[in-house]
Amino acid sequence: GNIVFSSTCATYGIPETMPITEQTPQAPINPYGESKLMFERALRWFKACHGIRHVALRYFNAAGADYGTGARHDPETRIIPLALLAVLGRIPFFQVFGDDYDTPDGTCIRDYVHVTDLAEAHKLALEHLRGGGESLQLNLGTGHGTSVLKVIAAVERITGKDVPYVISPRRAGDPAVLVANSARAEIALGWRTRRDLDDIIRSAWEWRRP
């Protein structure tokens, strides 16, 4: 058998240049990124020792809800769902972790990619392996970064409601900016994102609102 692995941009740690390509050095700064990088390394050994081919898909910030099945994540830790929970009054406020990063508005910038686009990448990766394709490591993102404060503004615009939020101290292990270059995924798999940030927020809102 062959393997399609859900990896992460967290394997890159704090990159020195943007956007991030697959050639960007991998130097994770948190346990999540380290654990994913460990398995990517194991996959290379599986290939060398047993001929097991793989595609490691390095997700950037997975977000949104599938149009048929929604989204489930417990406990909730993701930015957009937490902002929506604050809108709905299910949590008292949304926390912005740090407003003193070296970004235009001081908050972290991330590349948000719709879960349905990610699912389509998995399908294409399976087809690639079944067709005899070689092992690949691929970034999956839109190539566009959005700050936390701009995400809040977009949530407010789409829901028509205010997001109560507070500024909290930075969290350890949060890079200032993570934005993908996914050109290799388009070349190798024919994959590209079809949904933007508004689609992501709208799908999550449709799933969660009363």
Told to judge if 101 belongs to the known catalytic residues of this protein, a careful annotator would answer no
Q: What is the pTM of this model?
A: 0.94
Structure tokens at 173: 């292990």
46-51: average pLDDT: 96
pLDDT tens digits for 110-152? 999 999 999 999 999 999 999 999 999 999 999 999 999 999 9
Q: Side chain identity at 88, as an amino acid letter? A: L
| Burial (0-12, 13-18, 19+ Cβ within 10 Å), 92 | exposed
- Residue 171 is predicted with a pLDDT of 93
- DSSP string across 25-80: -----SHHHHHHHHHHHHHHHHHHHH---EEEEEE-EEES-BTTTB---SS---HH
- Residue 76 is predicted with a pLDDT of 77
Given 12, 32, 101, 165, which residue is catalytic?
32
Q: Is residue 192 a contact partner of residue 186, using CB atoms and an 8 Å limit?
A: yes
Cα-to-chain-centroid distance, residue 9: 7
Please state the φ and ψ torsions of residue 144, each to the nearest 5 degrees: -125, 130
pLDDT tens digits for 172-210? 889 999 999 999 999 999 999 999 999 999 999 999 887
Q: How far apart are CA 122 and CA 150, in angstroms?
A: 29
- What pLDDT band is residue 19 in, cutting at 50, 70 and 90? very high
Q: Side chain identity at 66, as an amino acid letter? A: D
Q: What domains lie within the chain, and their CATH numbers?
A: 3-208 (3.40.50.720)
Position 64 pLDDT exceeds 70: yes
DSSP E strands, 80-203: 94-97, 109-110, 112-114, 136-140, 146-147, 165-168, 177-178
